[in-house]
Every structure is written in structure tokens, then in C-alpha cells.
Amino acid sequence: WVTRWVSGQWRNKKRPPRLCPPRTLALADKVANRREQPTEATCITEMSVMMACWKQNDFNDVPCAKEIRMFYDCVAKAEKQHRNPNEDSLTFRGNLPSSKVNKLLQRFPQMTRYV
């Protein structure tokens, strides 16, 4: 009915159908715990470059020292980001993690009864 309403079919003095939600429209007291870490793997490009260098040089570490160092630097940087996330900032997509949402919902609970 929303598409008909937007397109103008309800403008000729016809009203859109009334929405009757089955429950009251209120936030829940908590949200489900979701994985807060991104699911993508890190340092894949550096690892593939390092393995390609190993394959070209018969798995000898000496000619591939630059690629190995780049891979280890990437791994160290990813571990540092994993261990010290900025607690006050939002995640990379701009969403709050479920733990922070639950803390906010506990601080500001829904009022279901009026005194």
C-alpha cells in the first residue's frame, strides 16, 4: 500500500489502510549479541604476495625478505587494532556494537507502565 500511496492513488480523498501493529511499538530491553569483529580476513594480499615469492624462489626466505617483512608488519598492525579498539568511537560501518546498545538500553529503560 505504500507504493500506491506514494504514487498518488490515495490522493483522491481515499485514505491508506490503517496500520494496526500486533504489539505496542517500543524498544526491547536488550538486543541479541552479535559478532562485533568484522568477518573479513586481514593481510590476505600481503600473504598471497609472500607465498607467490616463495613459490618463484623454491621456498627460500632470503630473496623474499621484503615480502615477509611486509606481511609481518601487516599482522602486527592488525593485532594492535584488535587489542586496542577505540571505545568511544563507532565501528567502521557506523553501527554500535550490541554490547554498547545493551548498556544504553539498560541506562534508559522503556516505560511500560505509567504511574
Nearest to 1 by CA among 21, 13, 15, 12: 15
Average of pLDDT values for 5-13? 60
The predicted structure's pLDDT at residue 72: 95
Residue 59 within a domain: yes
Residue 24 within a domain: no
- Whether pLDDT at 9 is above 70: no
The predicted structure's pLDDT at residue 91: 44
3-class state of residue 27 by DSSP: coil
How far from each other are the two terminal CA atoms of the chain, in whole angstroms? 38
pTM of the model: 0.46
Average of pLDDT values for 38-54? 87
Range of the domain at 75: 48-86
Whether the CB-CB separation of 71 and 46 falls below 8 Å is answered with yes
Residue 99 within a domain: no
Burial of 70 (0-12, 13-18, 19+ CB in 10 A): middle
